[in-house]
Structure 1
Amino acid sequence: MEHSEPDTRTLERGLGEYVGAVAAALGVPAESMTVEISDTATAYLGLPRRWLDRPDHDVMLVWSERRGWALAVETDPADAPVLIARYGGGDLVPPPGAVARFVADAAAGHHTGQERPDPAAALTRKSLAERLMPYRRHPG
């Protein structure tokens, strides 16, 4: 019998490689990224820039398997981040260059992709693993 769900380690490795490719496209060092696989697969990239409206707060790019990429301003730890823009287009795993363009466009004031993602677009763990396969450098 074939397993329908990928194991956590495989998924984490694939997501780490994908987020690493996004970080490289943005010129962000690997130390600024985290990936976590729990009840939801998520990723975080701390960006080396400030936002004009909130110059004292860090900017972050976050990803989840349910919502895709979002650009936000970090606030106090007790408060939710302030959403700047969400990657639109329905692709929850867009190419790293497309994510970099999204960040550049948002930084230039073009708040693209503000729409809410379609709940039906959420990825299953199996489909996520398949989407991440091209980013896996070391199979197994």
Structure 2
Amino acid sequence: MHSAPKLADSPIEARRTADLTEFTWIDADTFDRGLRAYVTAVARALGVGEESSTVDSTVPASAYLALDGTPPAFPDRELALLWDERHGWAAAVETHSGGDLLVLGYLDPAHGATPPPRVLVRFVDALRAGRSVGRADPPDLPGLDRRHAGVVLAERYLESWSDNAHGGGNTLS
């Protein structure tokens, strides 16, 4: 019986697939690319372009997504979604001073740090309909395992990752 090579200390990490003989290679920016692809998928689901978002994958990772329209409670303020790895998603409105955003509510932590885009569509739809959304206080989500999250987000939202991971390639393009 051969032992698996130790890869944890390598700058390139490997994740074994189900048959334990193939490896999918993960480069150092997998989390960044996966998070950007995820935020882009959320933007598309909400009907806004990728240019409406910003992503910062440094610790703690965060994202901002400008949305079209205003909530009924704040008809003169632009609506946005905020995300960070500690608290998940929050709905917010721009302030008149251009300073910090006013958070309207946080998505229920039961949805996890990176819920499917359709969950955020329902969250925003409820807000736009004037319904109370989420919770007022920021939830404390369990620590985000960046290696695992990066792989999961890349597999779900990066077409080039899926093509390489399932097509035999060992690099991300």
TM-score > 0.5, shorter chain as reference: yes
Contact in 2 for aligned 1:44/1:60 (Cα 8 Å): yes
Contact in 2 for aligned 1:8/1:37 (Cα 8 Å): no
* TM-score normalised according to structure 2 size: 0.70
Contact in 2 for aligned 1:46/1:61 (Cα 8 Å): yes
Contact in 2 for aligned 1:67/1:122 (Cα 8 Å): no
**Would you say 1:110 and 2:131 are equivalent positions?**
yes
Report deviation, 1:70. Answer: 0.5
Q: Any unmatched runs of 5+ in structure 1?
A: none
In structure 2, what residue type is equivalent to 1:111? S
* TM-score normalised according to structure 1 size: 0.85
Alignment of 1:72-111 (within 5 A): 72-75=92-95, 76-78=97-99, 80-88=100-108, 89-111=110-132
Identity of aligned residues (%): 38
Structure label with greater radius of gyration: 2
Q: Which residue of 2 aligns with 1:123?
A: 144
Report deviation, 1:90. Answer: 4.3
More strand, by proportion: 1
In the alignment of these two chains, the number of paired residues is: 138
Q: Any unmatched runs of 5+ in structure 2?
A: 1-5, 14-25, 162-171
Report deviation, 1:112. Answer: 2.8
Instruction: State the secondary structure of the residue aligned to 2:81.
Output: strand
Instruction: State the secondary structure of the residue aligned to 1:43.
Output: strand
Provide the alpha-carbon RMSD of the alignment: 2.1
**Would you say 1:22 and 2:27 are equivalent positions?**
no
